Amino acid sequence: MAAWLLYRLYILIGNAWTFTTDDAYITLRYARNMAAGKGLMWNPGDFPVEGYSNFLYVLIGAASYKSGLDPVFVVKLVGVASLVLTCMLTFAIARRWVGPLGALLPTALLTGYRGTTLWAVSGMETALYLCLGLTAIWLFMVGCESAQIGIRPPRAESDPDAPRWTLAQRHDSSVFFALCGGALFLAALTRLEGPIFGIIVLGSLVAVGATRLLKNRAGATENLKPIVQAITVLTGTFVLPYTVYFAWRWQYFGRFLPNTYYCKANAPGSPWTLLGWYWDDAFLLVLLALVFPWRKIDIRATALFALVLAYAVLLYGADTIVAYEMRLAMVAFAALSILASVSALSWVKHAWGAIPTRAAALLFLFTVLIWQGELPNENKYLKDYSAKYAKRMALRAELGKWVDARLGPEDWFVIGDAGIAPFHTDAQIADPFCLNSWRYTSDEMDKDMSIYVNWVITLKPKMIAVHSKSNRTLKPRREYGFYPKLVADPRFEANYKLTKKFSPGSGEFHYWIYTRQ
């Protein structure tokens, strides 16, 4: 079954490989400038702006440039490798409660969802973040098992499906907590919300410590010793390094949080939108997780539940752009896959006690494979979607190269969808879609698009790419409200002339290039 899951994943990755999302090139523009010695900059010479939220991926991209490797291939390969490791981690975590065959169930659930594959090959940090986060959680679990912190004892060794804790029994728990802290630190460098893993880990230890203290004040010193030791190790390997990093980036960029946060905070529309999308995809897993057997709940299970709840809070009101196919909730989805699998297998065994655990696991595994078994349909979707998206990306790349041949590094170029097109030019880029525009989120502008449009006109950029919904008639796209306001400004018509169109021939993404007269 494991071989089948890997084969299925290989096929899915092959069909989705051509998909590289536009936002991945934002990270790589920062990486290119960093590798070239121009600093961690969007526009060299301008005020620094933190238009990314994946610092570790910037470092990986910069290292690729320095090594002479193709950075796009490298970040995609890192994503795929991370997904393979994630499959191993879901198995290892589920193995704390169920047998080897049953532990494959969450991997089947995770890899059977097309968004998992899509974001692994996208060039984004999604798969790496998931891998690092689950690595930290697994090491935390093993450390707690070794130190006997907040766990329920394993079943009898005579049970062939009993969890095996031999790794934890051989080593001092400090080793696992130290490695856990390192993984927590890397996860925090990979995504803005990465510290949530550390908060859950440390919070879980504090909660167990408080419970022990309330139950036995007389033996507090001895009872709390392993917990204090674990927290001390995690402080040295996670809290202190992250504090240094946070202080550095605050000093470098001059802002408490990345510009991406200020752009996406208070997103328009219903704050429940993302949660609604993800509920549609994962409602069955949520229901199964809610009936997780009470007798199996300990610090390990509560850590997984805490991840799900944390993301339910974090995603409330989050921006929905580039958030489809569970991208922002992949961590919660993985945690739900584990909890739901353990819950389902436990209840099947409870209801059909005469059926061996392995038979029950096999039954559920085949059920999931049948449920997700429309592999040809998934392959077709991934292949068609990736090919269609790649066509759009090729057009944007052509646009970027055309602009680069006509602009110098001191010239300004205005374009939304500031990914692959700016990646292919050294020109100064004004990003009206906010992510890489510190001016738009500054106190002076306060995300007022009218003020930003006036700034763009006053800037006198040499070229402006207007996004149009039509190739024949200029119909400015309305994202963020920039293009309608720009085109309506009489100074735009008076000073700019249409010089080139980049169009796929159909669809609603066309680029009209205007040059200043």
DSSP 402-471: HHHTT--TTSEEE-SS-SHHHHT--SEEE-TTSTT-TTTTSTTTTT-HHHHHHHHHHH--SEEEEEES-S
Partners of 516 in beta bridges = 496
Strand, helix or coil for residue 20? coil
Of 438, 439, 448, nearest to 50 by C-alpha is 438
Of 424, 417, 416, nearest to 398 by C-alpha is 424
The pair of three-digit structure tokens given for residue 376, joined into one six-digit string: 């040809």
Task: Print the SS3 string covering 25-77.
Answer: HHHHHHHHHHHCCCCCCCCCCCCCCCCCCCHHHHHHHHHHHHHCCCHHHHHHH
Integer Cα distance of 332 and 337 in angstroms: 9
- Quote the pTM value: 0.93
pLDDT 10s digit of each residue in the chain, 517 long? 778 788 888 999 999 999 999 999 999 999 999 999 999 999 999 999 999 999 999 999 999 999 999 999 999 999 999 999 999 999 999 999 988 888 888 998 899 889 999 999 999 999 999 999 999 999 999 999 999 898 876 654 445 555 555 445 556 889 999 999 999 999 999 999 999 999 999 999 999 999 888 887 766 667 789 999 999 999 999 999 999 999 999 999 999 999 999 998 877 788 999 999 999 989 999 999 999 998 889 999 999 999 999 999 999 988 888 888 999 999 999 999 999 999 988 888 777 765 666 666 676 667 666 655 567 788 889 999 999 999 999 999 999 999 999 999 999 999 998 899 999 999 999 999 999 999 999 999 999 999 999 999 999 999 999 999 998 999 999 888 999 999 999 999 999 999 999 998 777 789 999 999 9
Partners of 431 in beta bridges = none
Q: Residue 163 carries which side chain, given as an amino acid letter? A: P
Integer Cα distance of 424 and 58 in angstroms: 17
The pair of three-digit structure tokens given for residue 8, joined into one six-digit string: 């299925």
Q: Are 112 and 368 in contact (CB under 8 A)?
A: yes
Q: Are 487 and 476 in contact (CB under 8 A)?
A: yes
Q: What is the DSSP letter of 479?
A: G
